[in-house]
Amino acid sequence: MGKVLIIGAGGVGTVVANKVAQNSRIFTDIMLASRTKSKCDAIAEDVKRRTGVTIRTAQVDADNVPELTALFNMFKPELVINVALPYQDLTIMDACLACGVNYLDTANYEPKDEAKFEYKWQWAYQERFREAGLTAILGCGFDPGVTSIFTAYAAKHHFDEIHYLDIVDCNAGDHGKAFATNFNPEINIREVTQKGKYWENGQWVETEPHEIHKPLTYPNIGPKESYLIYHEELESLVKNFPTLKRARFWMTFGQEYLTHLRVIQNIGMARIDEVEYNGQKIVPIQFLKAVLPDPGELGENYTGETSIGCRIRGIKDGKERTYYIYNNCSHQAAYEETGAQGVSYTTGVPATIGAMMFMQGIWKKPGVFNVEEFDPDPFMEQLNKQGLPWHELFDVDLEL
């Protein structure tokens, strides 16, 4: 049915390559490209062994628009699945516009020199994508991604108005390392060390980093200390669901993880500005990334599971109700299926489903959209089929 180009050969790219290959009736021609072609070749070889499907590979510098357009014009994909770095969203979108290619990503653009998680840069492409008749699907991983689709599904089927939304993200996995991040350390540390922020009564409320926290109970896991942090889907959700009185995001962190983060900041290794070193300019957090364990290598001995979901309170038929929808994902099952751990899996599977939605013409309209602006039902159906089954609880204590 269609040609797809995956950009990015980290853990998420590994999962997307596997899942796209598993769905080769929809994705009939697949290419995987990244800065380091040997990484793509290794993934392609593994995918071939697991699924029998052949994936083409290519080298591309996703910071470089001419390189991207040359690749797009050569391969002529219908859709690009961008699972490279968030810094590269805009160059890839530019190349899509230049070549008439549709676009999907899993994390919003972020400028390299400030840790800002805002959609404004990508939303600014709305007119150009619409005029070009191209679809851009933003933030189609798990969070952002499935959490917004869960919210849209709840709003469509279970509520007349949703008032309170708490997205709860627990990773109860154990990778056996003293310290490692579950995805790109640079992005992870930038995200987690920023100030907290949530939406309440029509405005954003800012908190100190990790200022607000409480234990929340996760299905099949139990209580885990959870910290209010800012997460990018809050921005689009409060825009697209104006009945929301409050929207927050909670993530679990262990004490050791927080201690490591605190020290990394104290010693200056979380800095995102350039430092002079031996006549070279080096960004400390990028150098740190080079010495920390590669998140893609965490899979093999990773035990435990993730649990991510939405806890919602609102009105149905004039009565208040509560609703909790979630998915639990086992790190080991993810690794056995794709060679990547659960955090990569929960991001890569939704990206693949989003691409399926586009390829099948279900999620296809000119312009730039967040995932909650599409019909959630066909996506929700695929979650159950593609390895991320979800569960609903009605009228339970949300703890929030």
Would you tell me which residues interact with a copy of itself (CB under 8 A)? 178-179, 259-260, 263-264, 266-269, 271, 275-278, 280, 282, 284, 287-288, 290-292
Question: Least distance (Å) from a copy of itself to the CB of residue 195?
Answer: 18
Report the phi/psi class of residue 225: left, alpha or beta, with left for phi > 0 and alpha for psi in -120 to 50.
beta
Cα Rg of the chain, angstroms: 20
Spatial separation of the C-alpha atoms in residues 95 and 99, rounded to whole Å: 6
Phi, psi of 22 (to 5 degrees): -65, -20
Question: Least distance (Å) from a copy of itself to the CB of residue 115?
Answer: 17
Q: DSSP class of residue 300?
A: G
Give whichever of 131 and 256 is closer to a copy of itself, judged by the CB atom.
256
Cβ atoms of residues 305 and 330 within 8 Å: yes
Give whichever of 158 and 271 is closer to a copy of itself, judged by the CB atom.
271
Which distant-in-sequence residues (6+ apart) come within 8 Å of 79 by Cβ? Answer: 2, 3, 4, 5, 101, 102, 103, 104, 355, 358, 359
Cβ atoms of residues 309 and 303 within 8 Å: no
Question: Least distance (Å) from a copy of itself to the CB of residue 291?
Answer: 4
Give whichever of 275 and 396 is closer to a copy of itself, judged by the CB atom.
275
Give whichever of 202 and 291 is closer to a copy of itself, judged by the CB atom.
291
Which distant-in-sequence residues (6+ apart) come within 8 Å of 215 by Cβ? Answer: 223, 224, 225, 226
Is residue 144 reached through a cis peptide bond, with omega within 30 degrees of 0 on the bond before it?
A: yes
Give whichever of 210 and 248 is closer to a copy of itself, judged by the CB atom.
210
Q: Encoding tokens for residue 379?
A: 């996506």
Give whichever of 124 and 282 is closer to a copy of itself, judged by the CB atom.
282
Phi, psi of 89 (to 5 degrees): -55, -45
Question: Least distance (Å) from a copy of itself to the CB of residue 304?
Answer: 20
Question: Least distance (Å) from a copy of itself to the CB of residue 251?
Answer: 20
